[in-house]
Amino acid sequence: MLRTALPALLLCISGADAALASSSQWFDTDGARVRIVTTGQADADGKLTGILEIDLARGWKTYWRDPGDAGVPPIIDVSASTNVEGAAFDFPTPQRHDEGDYKWAGYDYPVALPVTFTMAAPGQPALIDAEVFLGICETICIPVKANLSLDPASDPDNADDAAVVAAALAALPGKAGDDFGVRPISEPGAQTIVLEARFPGDPASAELFIAGDEGYSFTAPKRTIEDGKVIFTTEVSLPARTGTGPGLHYTLATDAGSVSGLLPYF
């Protein structure tokens, strides 16, 4: 059974990587090692593509953007960086794990999380000093804090790094659309959310992941097939105020592939 112990009782591991290269050195912890890899050059809009590479040992696990009943979602803080104003993760399709009392979404194999760094002043030098916080789990989850430093411009033509980043981007779910995605069919404000999924492939293969954000939380969606339609239902805990961001992230996984999209706030 996976469980997260009280913070005071957990081993919180931090590491500092002083090396300045277009990709960081590995940071080692129990059950895993992590590093940041970048393409080395930002585009004209100041967007630099990279990944957080999480090399898990056999039998260890880590979490999706919404861990479920218990766990630690990946977080990246670049406030100590030079000329970097933000960073945001993308996520490959997760797995649903049922550990009895705990149900969670994540990965039990080595995984690369694409990350987009935004430069404050495009075209100017930048140093990334990232503090990464994530959960690495065997039977007990260990909150891991790793400080990873790199100079994106120090090796901008590294073909190996570019290939690793490209492979991670290629592994992301596609973009949801009318013929492959989900849409809500329940009334706004309902505590039981009903969604219709449309996709090619076997209806029995579909799995839906919805990430809570801005005070929203969801139970694991349950799939039924009604009049030839694939329906998911989930219970939602609503915040006091409707969310103000772009929407709620979801991933729909099927035997015909996976897509990610945004649901409106309920």
Q: What is the CATH number of the domain that holds 54?
A: 2.60.40.1250
- List the one residue out of 2, 93, 108, 94 whose CA is nearest residue 55: 108
Q: Give the separation between CA 118 and CA 47, rounded to whole angstroms.
A: 5
Q: CB 185: neighbour CB atoms within 10 A?
A: 11
Q: Give the separation between CA 145 and CA 143, rounded to whole angstroms.
A: 7
Domain-located, residue 15: yes
- The helix/strand count (H/E) of the chain reads as 1, 21
* Residue pLDDT tens, the chain, 266 long: 344 443 333 334 344 444 457 899 999 999 999 999 999 989 999 999 999 999 999 999 999 999 877 778 999 999 999 999 999 999 999 999 877 777 789 999 999 999 999 999 999 999 999 999 999 999 888 899 999 999 998 888 899 999 999 999 999 999 999 999 999 998 877 889 999 999 999 999 999 999 998 889 999 999 999 988 999 999 999 888 888 889 999 999 999 999 999 999 88
pTM value? Answer: 0.89
User: Quick one: 188 and 129 in the same domain?
Assistant: no
User: Quick one: 187 and 257 in the same domain?
Assistant: yes
User: Quick one: 160 and 207 in the same domain?
Assistant: no
Q: What is the CATH number of the domain that holds 186?
A: 2.60.40
Domain final residue, candidates 150, 170, 190: 170
Q: Give the separation between CA 140 and CA 22, rounded to whole angstroms.
A: 33
- Parent domain of 18: 7-170
